[in-house]
Amino acid sequence: MEAIHVDGLKIAYRRAGHGAPLVFLHGALSDSRFWELQAEALSDEFTVIAWDEPGAGQSGDIHEGFELADYARCLATLIEEVGLGPGHVAGLSWGGVVALELYSRRPDLVASLILADSYAGWKGSLPAEEVQARVDGVRQVLSASAQDFTGGFPGMFGTAPSAEATELIDRMADDARPESVMVQVGLVAAADQREILESVGIPTLLIWGEQDARSPLIVARQFSDAIRGSELVLIPGAGHVSNLEQPELFNKAVRRHCRAVSRS
């Protein structure tokens, strides 16, 4: 792991390979380990960066009042300090929300977007009653056992996840910090990024698991309709963590997209 500091906050990250920069942003209850299969496969052609976002993995704890803009600012500083920008920025689930926030504030650092199983914030993608149910559910789990938040959220997987994928999700959930999770949930619940989607003017790849129950295909269609010229790739047999359930298909789509952007 390497690290930078942003206003005294440690930001850890993994770096592998050489070539065009490809930055991966993980979702809630996870860290940079979430992208191990992508780093292994894609570092032959790209400089792959996977961060531990503030409050996760080996990065420092977030302070009270940490906002979505602060995540984007830390990410922008990371891209600048390691000399990677502009790069392909890929985010899954909550990571896609952070990627959109970065694009809205620092489009000069983003060559293309890869948004997987994501949201335009929960407020921007889901019915209000579903948003409230999710927030209440997370609070209930955390209050019952703040040190045993394992297994991720309901609906993470498709019909037949591998043992390796489920074990990795469990390990990362074991290491998640409840305080950070609640900050993320509060931010994603309140975020409405539909205007950002409509403003995207760079090549954008959308990757969705066909069996995603967390961010259902209706959200994927909303993204596809809102982002002009975007490409939507559906991954059969995958749920919300399509990069872990079907890594070969996921990686193939990412490689093809990045190559096409470089050619253009």
pLDDT tens for 206-232 read: 999 999 999 999 999 999 999 999 999
Closest CA to 55 of 240, 186, 243, 155: 186
Residue type present at position 201: G
Residue indicated by tokens 């959308």: 206
Q: For residues 124 and 126, what is the distance between their CA atoms, to the nearest angstrom?
A: 6
Residue range 49-82, pLDDT digits in tens: 999 999 999 999 998 899 999 999 999 999 999 8
Closest CA to 7 of 63, 58, 85: 63
For residue 185, the model assigns a pLDDT of 94
- pTM of the prediction? 0.95
For residue 145, the model assigns a pLDDT of 55
Q: For residues 122 and 203, what is the distance between their CA atoms, to the nearest angstrom?
A: 23
For residue 82, the model assigns a pLDDT of 87
Write out the H or E segment, with its range, that includes residue 89. Answer: strand 87-92
Q: Which residues of the chain have pLDDT under 50?
A: 146-148, 150
H helix intervals, the chain = 36-42, 68-81, 94-105, 122-125, 128-144, 163-175, 178-190, 194-199, 217-226, 242-245, 247-263
Helices (runs of H) and strands (runs of E) counted in the chain? 11, 8
> Which domains are seen in the chain, by residue range?
2-259 (3.40.50.1820)
CB 99 within 8 A of CB 113: yes
Which residues, 6 or more positions from 261, have their beta carbon under 8 angstroms from its beta carbon? 88, 111, 112, 203
For residue 152, the model assigns a pLDDT of 56
Neighbouring-strand partners of residue 228: none
For residue 207, the model assigns a pLDDT of 98
For residue 85, the model assigns a pLDDT of 76
CB 233 within 8 A of CB 208: yes
For 162, which DSSP code? Answer: -
Establish whether the linkage from the previous residue to 203 is cis, with ω within 30° of 0. Answer: no
Q: For residues 135 and 142, what is the distance between their CA atoms, to the nearest angstrom?
A: 11
For residue 146, the model assigns a pLDDT of 47
